[in-house]
A and B are shown apart, each in its own frame.
Chain A
Amino acid sequence: SAVISQKPSRDICQRGTSLTIQCQVDSQVTMMFWYRQQPGQSLTLIATANQGSEATYESGFVIDKFPISRPNLTFSTLTVSNMSPEDSSIYLCSVFPGTYGYTFGSGTRLTVV
């Protein structure tokens, strides 16, 4: 089973700044995904992080706002750029295959002030 280390676990950031979230997996995984969970809401897929190529973004999410890197099969980063209070959310990475399919990291709770 894949074990995911996601950091930071939480951060409070000033508007207009950027934050990079890291996701490290203890084994090689085919696919990595980044989700956002806004307060009281379900999970929304931001993008699929592809190893060796550009990420695939879902409708409503763009690379300039959420640049993603995937340099190898065990690591990915998500950057939240030029932050505003509306970006305050929990950001989660997920991997496939993980344990019985999809496994989630512990999440990054971001507050933008």
Chain B
Amino acid sequence: QKEVEQNSGPLSVPEGAIASLNCTYSDRGSQSFFWYRQYSGKSPELIMFIYSNGDKEDGRFTAQLNKASQYVSLLIRDSQPSDSATYLCAVNLGGNNRLAFGKGNQVVVIP
């Protein structure tokens, strides 16, 4: 089992709709969870982090964490064409501050 899995294929959403991304992880000891956005040819940019079970909202983004089920999700509300990018889920492994990344989900927002 991979440490961090993002299994959904490319996601196309109409402008103004909600994009939903999911991520599961294998290490029950993980404490910190991150969502990065990566535009083509650019380095990853942190958009959300979450440490506690439940929801965390920041503008149009909501991260949801369920440690019992070992999944973390990202919702993008009112999707904009500028949200078109690859979204990477990252998990802090154990207690040594190493980050493991999922393979990413490409989001395409259609005007």
Contact = CB atoms under 8 A, between A and B. Distances in A.
B25 interface: no
A75 interface: no
A41 B103 contact: yes
A106 interface: yes
B70 interface: no
Nearest to A104: B43
A100 B46 contact: yes
Interface stretch (A13-21, A78-86, A91-99): A91-99
B99 A94 contact: yes
Classify chain A's interface size: 20 to 34
Contacts of B107: none
A63 to B, nearest CB: 17
Interface string B78-109: 00000000001010000011111111100000
A101 interface: yes
A104 to B, nearest CB: 4
Contacts of B90: 102
A107 B103 contact: no
B61 interface: no
A42 to B, nearest CB: 4
B32 to A, nearest CB: 7
A28 interface: no
A45 interface: yes
A110 B90 CA distance: 24
A105 B101 contact: no
A54 to B, nearest CB: 15
Given A41-B103, A42-B103, A103-B46, 13 more contacts: A33-B98, A33-B99, A42-B88, A43-B88, A43-B101, A45-B99, A48-B96, A92-B43, A92-B44, A96-B97, A104-B45, A105-B43, A107-B42
17 contacts: A33-B98, A33-B99, A42-B101, A42-B102, A42-B104, A44-B101, A48-B98, A96-B97, A100-B46, A102-B90, A102-B99, A103-B46, A104-B44, A104-B45, A105-B43, A106-B42, A106-B43
